[in-house]
Amino acid sequence: MCGIAGLYYPNIAKPVDPARVAQMSDAQAHRGPDGSGVWTAPGVGLGHRRLSIIDLGGGAQPMLTPDQQIAVTYNGEIYNFQEVRAELERLGAQFLTHSDTEVLLHGWRAWGPDMLARLNGMFAFALYDAKSKSLFLARDRFGVKPLHYAQLSDGAVAFASELKGILAHPSFRRVPDFRAVEDYLGLGYVPDDASIVAGVKKLPAGHFMLIERGKPVPQPVQWWDIDFSQRATGKPKDLQAELVEHLRAAVTSRMISDVPLGAFLSGGVDSSAVVAMMAEASRSAVKTCTIGFDVADHDETSHAQLIADRFATEHRARKVAADDFALIDTLVDAFDEPFADASALPTYRVCELARENVTVALSGDGADEAFAGYRRYKFFAAEERMRGLLPGGLRSGVFGTLGKYFPKADWAPRPFRAKTTLLALAEGGEYAYPKAVGVTGPELRHRLYTRKALKALAGHNAEQRYTDTMRLAPARDGLDRAQYADIKHYLPGDILTKVDRTSMAVSLEAREPLLDYRLVEFAATLPPSMRIRSGQGKWLMKKALEPWLPRDILYRPKMGFVTPISAWFRTALADEAAALARSKVLADTGWFDAATIQALAADHRSGRAEHGRTLWQLLMLERSLTRLFG
């Protein structure tokens, strides 16, 4: 795994200072502590920081073809590079290394942008073609690996794995973007097509850009999409067998490494399934690790130990404090942008633990989005069935009126929040689901904003991105559309960002076998009844894994990395919450109403209301703005 950076002048072949590219690259040194490189030519400069995984001696970057006509800087792993290499050799390509990087050089020469469809992996790369004087930027299907870009005042296009790489360029002017703040407060993260810094964008997952000299910088082009509109017709037993074969292939392909490799093990279905397949394929004990908490309600170490014992893994567990908020500033540095998923704290700790013994770790991320594992899918599917019983106008009138006057109970479990459920039923699914998956709702956000902020938004709202995606989804029903939108937004914006930044902060490569595109494309064809049945999400996946995993693991309630942030803001962080109303950096933006923030903190501290997640968002926003602009 690596960090990439560079500059490209689309209008003129202006000389590029290697020291400037090195400065951008070195700002991401944590992503690649094993080596660095810079290559420049008229109008272009590529930088690289290397974490050595494959071909330790021969995979240095930037890498060039022998004739110096094609150069690439690349972050990621191509899991099927040996098959692609064999195909290229049949076409006459001659390889000088055993690295997957070289496949990109020869693949570009043979197929151009069409080579992306042949690649199975996680990647973000920049490739310069001297013959066409063009720069090609590409990102993998799901957005496992990040890629930021911006156009500078002198016309250069700057790119980097992380925002800090672009910000290291001295001519880039930092200005906050309030529309991204709206997105962040609504969703809990700054999504892929936005940035907290105005003028910076992220190349969306499954997209590329071909920037040619003498032409305007184009919009990204989508090269891959997931299709939920098709349906598998096989018997459940046959589909279970097919699922296991996809899972086995996905895991074994991600075990190729020239450095020590292991796995995260939480004791949940997904990471346990990965460890089961690793144990089947490995000749030696799989190295596993888990993080536990000093509060029993949040601790899963006993479940992880059960799986470790079953597969005789070389297991390490470590207990950390549930109130591990001392990591806040570390996370602010790692993420650059505000990021409100508090499970980043234990994720960082498990990456830290893994890095003590391995350089590569397999994770269980992705199955919830692909196989409908989140509880919210079950509730949404039930709401969709109820919506189908009444015409839209009648539904809006009946449920909307009841919801308007029903008392609010945000503190209650989701099934008992009648006001929330009634209001959701009154709306179409493409309007209700974005609010269900969000963090701070539209009404509370508008209370937080000043008139200046509302004017700056000019009607922009965080939920619209989800609504538009669900409307246009290649899908048959509401569950399809919800999963599709999560794969497009929540997965790259939250889950994969969290794992990438926390793992790279400690120079660890994390691999996600459950996001093998063939496995996810298979999951998208499953009828809804094979994704959710009898209140169980991931139904077919769990049935398929019954020969491998105990029922206590397969069918116990989902826990995940839970952090008690609400309790923090009534105890250890209560004063921090109150201080947000007096924050200079928030006040200087002119965007937030201090009295509203003060009231939120006071009401939460007293127990009159539940605002823990919003207060956490505001705290992380305040810290991020201070770091970036303070």
* pLDDT for 294 beyond 80: no
Is the Cβ–Cβ distance between 616 and 342 less than 8 Å? yes
Residue 326 has what pLDDT? 83
Tell me the residue type at 142: F
Give CA–CA dist 82/436, Å, rounded: 43
Question: HEC string of 103-168?
Answer: HHHHHHHHHHHHHHHHCCEEEEEEEEECCCCEEEEEECCCCCCCCEEEECCCCCEEEECCHHHHHC
Residue 54 in this model has a pLDDT that exceeds 60: yes
312-316 average pLDDT score: 97
Mean pLDDT on 75-95: 96
Distances (CA, A) of 241 to 237, 245, 248, 271, 602: 6, 6, 11, 19, 55
Q: Which pLDDT score is estimated for 43?
A: 97
Q: In the chain, pLDDT over 70 holds for what percent of residues?
A: 92
- CA dihedral for 186, 189, 190, 192, sign (positive or negative): negative
What DSSP letter does each residue of 476-533 carry, written as one string? Answer: SSHHHHHHHHIIIIIIIIIIHHHHHHHHHHTT-EEE-GGG-HHHHHHHHTS-HHHHSB
Instruction: Output the CA–CA distances (angstroms, integers) from residue 213 to 10, 43, 134, 201, 210, in the order listed.
Output: 4, 9, 6, 20, 10
Question: Residue 410: what pLDDT?
Answer: 53
| pLDDT exceeds 60 at position 475 | yes
Report the pLDDT averaged over residues 623-629: 96
Backbone CA torsion sign across 524, 529, 533, 539: negative
pLDDT for 55 beyond 70: no
pLDDT at 626 over 80: yes
347 has pLDDT over 50: yes
Instruction: Count the Cβ atoms, other than its own, within 10 Å of residue 535.
Output: 9
CB 478 within 8 A of CB 489: no
114 vs 320: which has the higher pLDDT: 114
pLDDT at position 415 over 90: no
Residue 89 reports pLDDT greater than 80: yes
pLDDT average, residue stretch 17-28: 97
Residue 221 dihedral angles phi and psi, to the nearest 5°:
-115, 130
* Torsion angles phi and psi, residue 388, rounded to 5: -70, -10
Structural domains in the chain? 2-222 (3.60.20.10), 236-372+483-554 (3.40.50.620), 565-630 (no CATH)
One-letter identity of residue 544: A
Q: What are phi and psi of 612, to 5 degrees?
A: -55, -45
Q: CA of 83: how far to CAs of 90, 119, 134, 521, in Å?
A: 11, 10, 27, 20
pLDDT tens string 348-359? 999 999 999 999
User: Hunting for tokens 């250890």 — which residue is that?
Assistant: 572
DSSP state of 536: B
Separation CA 144–CA 126 (nearest Å): 16
- Which residues lie closer than 8 Å to 290 by C-beta, 6 or more apart? 264, 265, 266, 267, 300, 301, 304, 305, 315, 316, 317, 318, 350
In the predicted model, what is the mean pLDDT of residues 592-608?
97
CA distance 146 to 492: 9
Place of tokens 């009138």: 397
HSE, side-chain direction, 13 A CA sphere, residue 31: 30
Per DSSP, 226 falls in state: -
**Active-site residue, 351 included:** no
Give the tokens for residue 105: 């050089």
Out of 2, 44, 286, 456, which one is annotated catalytic?
2
- Encoded amino acid at 354, one letter: A
Give the pair of three-digit tokens for residue 505.
Answer: 């902060």
Q: How confident is the model at residue 603 (pLDDT cuts 50, 70, 90)?
A: very high
How far from chain centre, in Å, is Cα 311? 29
Q: How many helices (H) and strands (E) does the chain have?
A: 29, 17
Both structure tokens of 420: 């929330």
Looking at every residue in the chain, the average pLDDT score rounds to 92
Distances in whole angstroms, Cα of residue 559 to Cα of each of 482, 517, 562, 611: 21, 26, 7, 21
Least confident of 204-213, 264-273, 420-429: 420-429
Q: Which amino acid is at 249?
A: A
Kindly state the average pLDDT of the residues 506-513.
Answer: 96
Please state the rounded mean pLDDT for residues 559-578.
85
pLDDT digits (tens, 9 = 90+) for 227-241: 999 999 999 999 999
